[in-house]
Structure 1
Amino acid sequence: MTESTRAPSVPAGPALRSARTEKLRAARLYVCTDARRDRGDLEDFLHAAYAGGADIVQLRDKSIDTDEEIAALRLLSRVAAEYDALFAVNDRADIAALVGADVFHGGQHDLSPARARRLLGPDVLIGRSTHDLDQARVALEDPDVDYFCTGPVWATPTKPGRPATGLEFVRAVAELTRARPAAEPEPRAVPWFAIGGIDETRLPEVLAAGARGVVVVRAVTEAPESRLAAGQLRSLLPA
C-alpha cells in the first residue's frame, strides 16, 4: 500500500480549510466505528454508512496496532473522498498527519488542541470531547477547536466507567451556544454534537433538548442494515 496521503480535492491552504469547515457546519450525522476485524467488512460498512447519510466517519479502535490503524484509515480516506465527505482520526495526531486526515478528534486527556494544531497545521479540523459545562465552555472559546462533542448523554459500553451526563447537559450546552452571540459581537461558529447511547428511539429527545447533530456508534455499527440505519437517523435530523 502506498505511503502517499490522499490528494485533496482542493489545494491545501485556506481553500482546503474552508471546504472542510463548510462540510463540518452542514454535518448532522457523525458515525464512529472500529476496524470491524471480527466481521472483515470495513470497506462495505464505510460505503453503507456514507451512502446512508453519514457526514463524518471516525475510526476509533484501541485493539489494533499502528500499522493496522494506518491501513484502515487509508481505506476510510478513499471511501470518504468518493462521497465528498469527511473522515476523522481519533486520539493520534501523528497518525492524522500521516494519513492526511480531514478531522482529528481528541479527549480531555489527549494532546491539547493547541499542541495538535502545531503538529497538524491550520487545515485539519480539530474536535474535542466534553463531559461537563465548564469543558464545553472552554472548547467553545478555544480558537484551535473547530467542533466539540457533549456526553455521554446515556451510559454506553463504548465508554466504560464514564457516567452519563443526561439530557440536561445537552440543554445547558444548547443554551450556552444560543446565549453566546449576545455576549460577543462576532462570535465564532463552533458546531457541536451530542454523543452517547443515542439511537433512533432516543434521537427525538436529543433534538428536543437542543442538539442539531449527533455522534452514533452502535445504532449504525450493530444494525442489521447499516445503510438503512444511517438513513433513518439522517432523515430525523435537521437539514
Structure 2
Amino acid sequence: MTSSPTPSVPSARTSRSRRLAALDAARLYLCTDARTEQGDLEAFLHAAYEGGVDIIQLRDKRLEARAEIAALELLGRIAAEHGRLFAVNDRADLALLVGADVFHVGQGDLTTAQARTILGPDVLVGRSTHSLAQAREAAEDPGLDYFCVGPVWATPTKPGRPPVGLDLVADAAEIGTALHPPKPWFAIGGIDTARVPQLRAAGAERIVVVRAITQAARPREAATMLRNALLG
C-alpha cells in the first residue's frame, strides 16, 4: 500500500494531545456518504487517505443506525491503518460507540457542553459556521477544537444555503490567527483544485471537500492534487 505524504497520527488514539497534534497538521478534510450506490466504501477510503486526506467524516443521513455504525467501524479501522483521523457527524452516541477521533456538529446540533458531557475531553469537537458572528463565537469557545466556515461557494451538498464568499474566509483567517494558540479552521463549500489558490490568497490553509473527491474518477489522484494545491 502506498504511504501517504501526510504526517501520521500516533497509535494511542485516545490521547487528546496526539489528536490535537494531528489536527494541527491536517490540511485536507473529506466528507463522504457511505457510497452505497457505488458499493466501494472500503476501497474509496483507502484511496482518499493514500492520496493525502488527513480527516474523513462519514455523513449519510439515509443510513439507519446499525448500518451507520458498521460504516463508521470500517472507517475507524482504515483510519487507524493509515494513521489518520476519522470523524462522526451529528450523532454523539455513535461517536462514543465507535471511538471516533472527531465529532462535528452544525449550528442547530448539540452544544459544546452537551457534546462534552457525552464524549468527555479526549474527542476533538468541531462546529460549522456561516457568518462572522458564528465564526467568532466558535473561535472563542474553549470547548471547540476547530471550526469550519462556509459554504464559500454555492454547493448542492448544502441546498438553499447562500454562499458566504471569500470575505468571510479572510475574516476567519484573522480571527483564527489572533488566538493564542491559533485555533485550526477549515474553509468549506464548492471547493475544487482550481479554487484553492483563491482560498490561499484569502488566508485559508485548510479545506473541507466533498464532490471534489467523492465524484472523482480517481479519488486518490484527486486528493493528491488538492493537497499539492494547498501546500503550493
Q: TM-score range by the shorter chain?
A: over 0.9
- Distance apart, 1:11 and its partner CA: 7.0
1:237 aligns with 2:230: yes
Task: Please point out which of 201, 205, 210 is paired with 1:212.
Answer: 205
- Provide the C-alpha distance between the structure 2 equivalents of 1:160 and 1:11, rounded to a whole number of angstroms: 35
State the one-letter code of the partner of 1:118.
T
8 Å Cα contact 2:176-2:184 kept in structure 1: no
- Provide the C-alpha distance between the structure 2 equivalents of 1:46 and 1:75, rounded to a whole number of angstroms: 9
State the one-letter code of the partner of 1:17.
R
- Using structure 1 for the length normalisation, give the TM-score: 0.91
Aligned to 1:20: 19
Aligned to 1:10: 12
State the one-letter code of the partner of 2:82.
Y
Deviation by residue 1:41-93 (Cα, 9 ceiling, x = unmatched): 00000000000000000000011111110000000000000110000000001
State the one-letter code of the partner of 1:174.
A
Aligned to 2:67: 68
State the one-letter code of the partner of 2:198.
E
- Provide the C-alpha distance between the structure 2 equivalents of 1:103 and 1:175, rounded to a whole number of angstroms: 24
Q: Tell me the secondary structure at the aligned position of residue 169 of structure 1.
A: helix
Runs of 4+ in 1 over 4 A off after TM superposition: none
Deviation by residue 1:96-139 (Cα, 9 ceiling, x = unmatched): 00000000000000001111011100100000000001101111
State the one-letter code of the partner of 1:116.
A
- Distance apart, 1:160 and its partner CA: 0.9
- Distance apart, 1:9 and its partner CA: 2.6
State the one-letter code of the partner of 2:139.
L
Task: Please point out which of 178, 196, 221 is paired with 2:214.
Answer: 221
- Distance apart, 1:10 and its partner CA: 1.6
Task: Please point out which of 185, 190, 204 is paired with 1:197.
Answer: 190
1:96 aligns with 2:100: no
Aligned to 1:4: none
Aligned to 2:31: 32
Q: Tell me the secondary structure at the aligned position of residue 237 of structure 1.
A: helix
Aligned to 1:3: none
- Provide the C-alpha distance between the structure 2 equivalents of 1:133 and 1:39, rounded to a whole number of angstroms: 38
- Provide the C-alpha distance between the structure 2 equivalents of 1:70 and 1:121, rounded to a whole number of angstroms: 20
Map 1:52-67 → 2, pairs under 5 A: 52-67=51-66
Q: Tell me the secondary structure at the aligned position of residue 69 of structure 1.
A: helix
Aligned to 2:132: 133
Aligned to 2:158: 159
- Provide the C-alpha distance between the structure 1 equivalents of 2:231 and 2:205, rounded to a whole number of angstroms: 6
- Provide the C-alpha distance between the structure 1 equivalents of 2:115 and 2:192, rounded to a whole number of angstroms: 31
Q: Tell me the secondary structure at the aligned position of residue 31 of structure 2.
A: strand
Q: Tell me the secondary structure at the aligned position of residue 48 of structure 1.
A: helix
State the one-letter code of the partner of 2:191.
I
8 Å Cα contact 2:104-2:127 kept in structure 1: yes
State the one-letter code of the partner of 2:201.
A
Q: Tell me the secondary structure at the aligned position of residue 194 of structure 1.
A: strand
Deviation by residue 1:160-190 (Cα, 9 ceiling, x = unmatched): 1111001111011112223x25xxxxx2431
Aligned to 2:42: 43
